[in-house]
């Protein structure tokens, strides 16, 4: 794993887990198996390995592992599972500003086409965070959701807000590109 030979790491970790299923380091083996699967973009298998880790060792890294599991499920296109993982992570969040975790949860809602929950959460994030980059990202996601539900006027207003108020954010640039491509005056 440390040498980034992930296929070999996967094979060896699976062999260890089959041979020694109740060894003291079984949880760590599941974690590194998850990381190896994630590295080779086998996201559903990574999410399963992280879940197996959590079954053996839910604490003290539960929030971090749930976040990573949510990331794997989101990458796999499993919005419902990702939302559950992110909600579990929010119950015991890893260190740092939880706004980023909440933004991931909004993405998971959007992926499963639960646009009402996504919009509600994103509007709350925008209203409560003091982080300009998080505001710009919330606007970006809101704009994409509004476009998905056929509300381009609201989408363009969100993109315009980010361009005007948070120009240093990459998400503002992404909104600017959307505005230009749509022929909207900026």
The pLDDT-based confidence of 6 (bands split at 50, 70, 90) is very high
User: Who has greater pLDDT, 95 or 87?
Assistant: 87
More confident residue, 58 or 130: 130
Q: What is the pLDDT of residue 135?
A: 98
pTM: 0.91
How far is the C-alpha of 96 from the C-alpha of 45, rounded, in Å?
Answer: 27
Residue 60 has pLDDT above 90, yes or no: no
pLDDT tens digits, residue range 89-109? 999 888 889 999 999 999 999
Per-residue exposure over 24-43, b if at least 16 CB sit within 10 Å of its own CB, e if not: eebbebbbbbbbbbbeeebb
CA distances from 173 to 77, 135, 154 (A): 25, 13, 17
pLDDT score at 166: 97
Q: What is the mean pLDDT of the chain?
A: 96
* Contact assessment for residue 92 and residue 114, using Cβ atoms and an 8 Å cutoff: no
The fraction of the chain above a pLDDT of 70, given in percent, is 100
Dump pLDDT digits (tens) for 112-170.
999 999 999 999 999 999 999 999 999 999 999 999 999 999 999 999 999 999 999 99
Q: What's the whole-number mean pLDDT along residues 50-54?
A: 96
Dig out the tokens for 135 from the structure.
């505001």
Question: Which pLDDT score is estimated for 36?
Answer: 98
């Amino acid at each position: 794993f440390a040498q980034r030979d992930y296929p070999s790491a996967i094979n060896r970790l699976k062999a260890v887990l089959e041979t020694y299923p109740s060894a003291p380091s079984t949880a760590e083996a599941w974690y590194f198996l998850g990381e190896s699967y994630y590295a080779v973009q086998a996201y559903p298998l990574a999410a399963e390995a992280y879940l197996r880790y959590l079954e053996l060792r839910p604490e003290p890294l539960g929030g971090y592992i749930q976040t990573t599991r949510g990331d794997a499920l989101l990458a796999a296109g499993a919005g419902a599972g990702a939302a559950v993982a992110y909600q579990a992570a929010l119950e015991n969040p890893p260190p740092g500003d939880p706004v980023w975790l909440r933004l991931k949860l909004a993405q998971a809602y959007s992926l499963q086409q639960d646009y009402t929950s996504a919009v509600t959460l994103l509007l709350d994030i925008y209203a409560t965070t003091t982080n300009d980059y998080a505001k710009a990202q919330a606007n970006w996601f809101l704009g994409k959701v509004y476009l998905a539900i056929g509300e381009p006027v609201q989408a363009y207003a969100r993109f315009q807000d980010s361009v005007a108020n948070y120009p240093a954010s990459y998400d503002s640039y992404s909104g600017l590109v959307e505005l230009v491509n749509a022929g909207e005056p900026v």
